[in-house]
Amino acid sequence: MADIAIDLGTANTLIHVKGKGLVFNEATAIAYDENTNAVIAYGDAAAEMIGRTPPSIRVVRPLSTGVVSDFAAARRFLQIVIDQLAPRRPFSPMRVILGVPSRISGAEFKTFQDALSTAKISKVWAVQEPVAAAIGSDIDFGLPRGCMIIDVGAGTTDMAMLSLGRVVESRSLRVGADALTSAFSNYLKNERRINVGDRTAEVFLHEYGQALKISNVRGSVQAVDLKLGLPISVQVSTDEVYSAIREPITLIVGELKRLLDSVPPDLASDILTQGINLTGGGSLLKGFPELLKEQTGLDCHYVEDPLKAVVNGCGKILEDMETFKYVLESMPDEIRQQAIL
């Protein structure tokens, strides 16, 4: 049975199989038949059903804000995917490298372990997602100088200052791309009196959302008029979108400032020349790098392939665990006791 590396995200799950590379990149979702409780779809096929199912079908996204919220669904999802990618062999247990949010608690990591427990897995090691993203992007943080990574996922935003191969300081905020979608949907419901589906809101934000106002355009969104109960198409300006998502964006900026304030001055000053490395799908919001620069005075740039940086890093660790075993030392104490080599 092949060893695997997993980036189990709120929105998407990416899996690297040792010796094969990235073999799975689909939505973290699973669909059940309510009458029989049988699984009828998973991954992208299940995600496409969200908001469009009859009462007899239930679609579950088993993670919320970066942690397992539906244990049974998470375990079933992982079992199906892993069995498909790496068929079981007797007497050949699997090892797993798992990307986790910064500052994850021991109880939260135990939930991840339990979700993987039925897959004949011998050991589960964790690595903080910003560290994995740095390794996956070939960023050298082994030198005595500061390196800043911000990973904005669907459920969480993870930030870490790295130096000498270790995490100097980190923050994990339960705010990500999903929070932006919810804020936009709530704005439309409360201010425009229209109701939009999560998928519709997500697609609209991807096209027209701006963390910093860099252009003035209007986009059309399909919705339901809450007064009439009828489907309508309305125009929404970028000013409205900016206003709607300002609060969660402000939370991310505020957490970044607190992190910069908490690290040694010499390390913080290194970022003046190195800049901030951005990764994760949420960081692709238009104007996000410009906003961070406006608020901090620091240059921000995307790593190569920001959507796959974490799983690429976990995969590199998996392929050469002896070289990269030191990154596990940066885990919280509760986790480290369960992940000793």
Domains in the chain with CATH codes: 4-132+309-336 (3.30.420.40), 143-302 (3.30.420.40)
Q: Average the pLDDT over each of 52-61, 294-303, 318-327 and give the range with the smallest value.
A: 318-327
94, 98, 86: which is closest to 123 by C-alpha? 94
Question: How much of the chain, in percent, has pLDDT values that exceed 70?
Answer: 92
Region 168-175: mean pLDDT is 92
162 in Cβ contact with 246 (< 8 Å):
no
Cβ neighbours for 48, distance < 8 A, ≥ 6 positions apart: none
Region 41-51: mean pLDDT is 93
pLDDT in tens, 188-222: 999 999 999 888 999 999 999 999 888 888 899 99
Res 329: pLDDT = 44
Pairwise pLDDT comparison (331 vs 29), residue with the higher score: 29
Which pLDDT band, with edges at 50, 70 and 90, does 106 fall under?
A: confident
Question: How much of the chain, in percent, has pLDDT values that exceed 90?
Answer: 62
Measured distance CA(220)–CA(322) in Å, rounded: 53
Which pLDDT band, with edges at 50, 70 and 90, does 83 fall under?
A: confident
Q: Is the pLDDT of residue 104 over 80?
A: no
Q: Is the pLDDT of residue 158 over 50?
A: yes
In the chain, count H helices and then E strands.
12, 18
255, 263, 304: which is closest to 147 by C-alpha? 263
Report the chain's mean pLDDT, rounded to a whole number.
88
Pairwise pLDDT comparison (225 vs 327), residue with the higher score: 225
254, 311, 303: which is closest to 100 by C-alpha? 311
Pairwise pLDDT comparison (18 vs 90), residue with the higher score: 18
DSSP β-bridge partners for residue 219: 236
Residue type present at position 310: V
Measured distance CA(42)–CA(77) in Å, rounded: 7
Region 4-15: mean pLDDT is 93
DSSP β-bridge partners for residue 42: 30
Residue type present at position 118: T
CA 98 to chain centre: 13
Q: Is the pLDDT of residue 122 over 80?
A: no
Measured distance CA(95)–CA(116) in Å, rounded: 11
Region 8-30: mean pLDDT is 94
Structure token pair of residue 329: 């030392």
pLDDT in tens, 225-281: 999 999 999 999 988 999 999 999 999 999 999 999 998 888 888 998 889 999 999
Which pLDDT band, with edges at 50, 70 and 90, does 340 fall under?
A: very low
Region 322-328: mean pLDDT is 82
Res 90: pLDDT = 56
Region 126-140: mean pLDDT is 92
Q: Is the pLDDT of residue 324 over 80?
A: yes
Q: Alpha helices, DSSP H only, in 98-137?
A: 106-115, 129-136
Which pLDDT band, with edges at 50, 70 and 90, does 121 fall under?
A: confident
